[in-house]
Amino acid sequence: MLAYRHTASDAGPINTFSYNANFSNTTGILSAQFGIHYVNFDAKANDSTAHGVGASGVALFVFPVAGRWEDGVPKAAIAFNVGSVPTVYVSGQRQYVTLPLIVGFGVPLSPHKAITLTPWFEASMSANLDTVFKTTDITVDPDAVTITPNPQTGSVNVKLKDGAVEEAVKKGVSIDSGFYVPMRAGLEADLHASESVDFNLYSSIATLGGAFGGASAFTLGAGLTYRWDDIVPAVLPVERRLQRENCEAIEARFRSCPNAKQWLSPEQRVKETKLAAPTVTPAVAPTPAVSPKPPAPAPVPAPLPAPISPPPPSEPKPAAPPSGPPSAVFPS
């Protein structure tokens, strides 16, 4: 992100040129912003312009409280940021160092996918060291100077008492150190020209002293954001998350999950399934009950043979007449 901001304040105008690089984690909730800044400050109290360089490191947390547009921008969210922007100003007379710890929050609102409005507030707890050199105030006490003429050479020897130089420097140098908590609030508008390009408009009102005291400052600025990387897939709709991913990237992402060690390859899963499956003995079809055969009818007894009637007695045959009388009867 490239940005320019101009600040009008009671202490003098301030111009800031910035370059920021943002990095988001895979969830899209945490982002880290690192930047380098050039600042010039034309203080009304001094004749010369102070030039400064600052470096920033900020962690930004964005928690969506509503849905997201198809490009991943939350429709409404709550944002918190914490970080530091140490800065050094140097001029002919002034050297200024500030070490702030910034804490802030904002409420990004996107009524349309092409615009995001963010009201925000920040408090900056700052340790400051301000050193001013004034050469016109550096004078030496005449009593600390001893002048001795040298008649041989015609020169003059000048000696200063111990501590005279240190005392003179103290008169011309002022050191102001302190701890302040300046506060500022503002409104940012981001116009989303595409998924890769945003235009940023910035406004804020702040105080340069502690809390709401000290010189007031009003800032206006603009910036251009270009995203050279793909949108974090976690913030996209489900149907778009894997559009630009190749198989290797998808595999690497899944393996980065905490439970990746428990996952099995398709071959291992088939093997585990076979080992875990119980051996099933095919059920034997039950033998149908055999109904008892009806008792066979008693065999019909064979008919008794008809009684054979005895043959009729044969009629007695008449005795054959004897051929002669028995000898007993008729003795010879």
- State residue 331's pLDDT score: 43
CATH number 3.40.50.300 given to 2-132+173-232: no
Residue identified by tokens 């996209």 is: 236
What is the mean predicted confidence (pLDDT) over 212-224?
86
Give me the residue spans of the domains in the chain: 2-132+173-232
- State residue 16's pLDDT score: 95
Rounded-to-10 torsion of CA 319, 323, 328, 332? 170
E strand segments, the chain: 2-9, 14-24, 30-41, 50-64, 77-84, 87-90, 94-106, 109-112, 115-133, 145-150, 155-160, 173-180, 183-192, 197-207, 216-226
pLDDT of residue 320 exceeding 50: no
What is the mean predicted confidence (pLDDT) over 253-273?
74
Split at pLDDT 50, 70, 90, the class of 247 is confident
Split at pLDDT 50, 70, 90, the class of 329 is very low
Comparing 24 with 316, the larger pLDDT belongs to: 24
pLDDT of residue 298 exceeding 60: no
pLDDT of residue 144 exceeding 70: no
